[in-house]
Structure 1
């Protein structure tokens, strides 16, 4: 084989590999966002349709605004609500700090295919508004980049969630905490390292770190600050 043929073959191989790399980058940076936009819109439309037909769970008890990081849930004799349907959307989550139009559906489980459609609720963690830790995961990058700006979250920021009947306003207590993926204590009923020292109604958000990697996780914790019926309009926290 001549040197010229070797050089030409190697050049063609480099061009092919380069083209594949470019296609992969386009897929990651652009096409996954397109896919996510369509999937997320479908989840939101489905939720709104169910809510319009009244297919939602009963609202949780009202919580008055409080500065306490460990509010205690009022006693109730009502039966515990059923678990969420696996892989299905059941709530909408809003974080005003991340933008006026920032809104994502929350689905049950944190499997890869679920997180391509929105945010995922960790199986086995508390139900929305209940005593314990309502824990939610989302992509930092790809599939719409829901938590791209996660490091901007600060104490006092509102995380607002609705199940179609009730608005739940949580308040973040600390700046994002960095840990490793195996640290499951961060989604415990009283999350490890959160600063909470007893039972309460908490929310945990998790995402990958660094921005384009997954060697670590970023975590924020919040406590339930207030609830109100959706018939009362949007909470003031949307504008604070």
Structure 2
């Protein structure tokens, strides 16, 4: 212990220097040294009667401590001794030279008792299994509870997501599922017609709206679709069938008529889309109408790319803008344009070039 070091160090029998070169006190150290038990006897230290100016004591920690204590008591100090005393005293002041004011400034910089506020340490995390206090529970509940802006943004986002999903489902239904269902219905109707014709259940005559009576073939487009009476979306067109203009003011002739215009309509997009690519037909391409008794073969003659839906003159016995100038046996195909819209109509005309009984087999247009 530091408080005990001066008393213990005096027991080694070493005599302190005299303040003015006087004789050392020889008996003090020797008496104490001799009186201690267990210490080996030692010869008394020679007295130091004179000291030379500037003499340095031996570099011993214990000896230095004794001499520093004695020199502080009033002896003269040399320059090296003053430096030693200053260096040994510096740690006692906390390493901040300059007196009390300097120490206060250093304490303020360190955030001490008089140097501003100290940051409170963060609260330790709750121990697992320890029940929360009421204040902690309320604080955590407030942190977990979303604000009004978050709630509003979530609601708007859910509305957009729901709308997007519904639109995607609607587009999928229109572009894919309606075609799947219409193809199935049209194929079933086509096979039913062929079976009825083979069994003799049907005969030519007047047909009910929505009733199938013929089959349309467009070899270039690989189209085979049943033809039904009427152009109703629900009864005919949405089922993937081709509708015949046979009602009201838009009534047109049947294929077996001696003269007239056989007018047909079908979807260009969705619901089987039988007329999806009739814009690709060119003059000379074949269009075949198959009935219970005959094949009627037409050749494409002209096309009207765009016309208003109100232009019903394209269905006249001698269609306007078709190039026909006299009565004959014609066919007119109508559909919507541009694709995926119903703003305008696309018209394709053809002229009958062959009538062949079914008993004689298929015409060349269906064999090639």
Instruction: Give the structure-2-normalised TM-score.
Output: 0.56
User: Does residue 1:234 correspond to 2:362, yes or no?
Assistant: yes
Match of 1:199 among 327, 332, 335: 327
Rounded to whole Å, the distance in 1 between the matches of 2:334 and 2:213 is: 18
**Contact 2:332 2:349 (8 Å CA) reproduced:** yes
Deviations 1:33-82 (A, max 9, x none): 12102211221122112201224446xxxxxxxxxxxxxxxxxxxxxxx4
Rounded to whole Å, the distance in 1 between the matches of 2:351 and 2:207 is: 21
1:55 and 1:223, CA in 2 relative to 1: closer, same or farther beyond 3 A?
A: farther
Q: Residue in 1 aligned with 2:238?
A: 116
Match of 1:90 among 213, 217, 227: 213
Rounded to whole Å, the distance in 2 between the matches of 1:84 and 1:157 is: 29
1:176 is displaced (CA, Å) by 4.2
Q: Residue in 2 aligned with 1:138?
A: 266
Higher relative contact order (Cα pairs below 8 Å, separated by 6+ residues): 1
**Contact 1:151 1:176 (8 Å CA) reproduced:** no
Q: Residue in 2 aligned with 1:177?
A: 305
User: Does residue 1:24 correspond to 2:170, yes or no?
Assistant: yes
| Structure 1 outlier segments of 4+, above 6 Å | none
Q: Residue in 2 aligned with 1:104?
A: 225
SS of residue paired to 1:46? helix
Deviations 1:80-108 (A, max 9, x none): xx432221000000011102xx2000000
1:147 is displaced (CA, Å) by 1.2
Query: Structure 1 regions of 5+ residues with no counterpart?
Result: 59-81
1:220 is displaced (CA, Å) by 0.6
Q: Tell me the number of residue pairs that the alignment of Structure 1 and Structure 2 aligns.
A: 215
Q: Residue in 1 aligned with 2:277?
A: 149
Rounded to whole Å, the distance in 2 between the matches of 1:51 and 1:236 is: 21
Instruction: Give the structure-1-normalised TM-score.
Output: 0.85
**Contact 1:56 1:163 (8 Å CA) reproduced:** no
CA-atom RMSD in angstroms: 1.4
**Contact 1:164 1:230 (8 Å CA) reproduced:** yes
SS of residue paired to 1:189? coil
In proportion to residue count, which structure has more strand?
1
Deviations 1:192-226 (A, max 9, x none): 11111111111000010011100000001111100
- Higher mean alpha-carbon deviation, 37-46 vs 225-234, is at 37-46
In proportion to residue count, which structure has more helix?
2
Rounded to whole Å, the distance in 1 between the matches of 2:201 and 2:312 is: 33
Q: Residue in 1 aligned with 2:256?
A: 129
Deviations 1:1-42 (A, max 9, x none): 811111110000000000100100110111101210221122
Deviations 1:109-153 (A, max 9, x none): 001011022000001100113111100001000011211111100
SS of residue paired to 1:177? strand
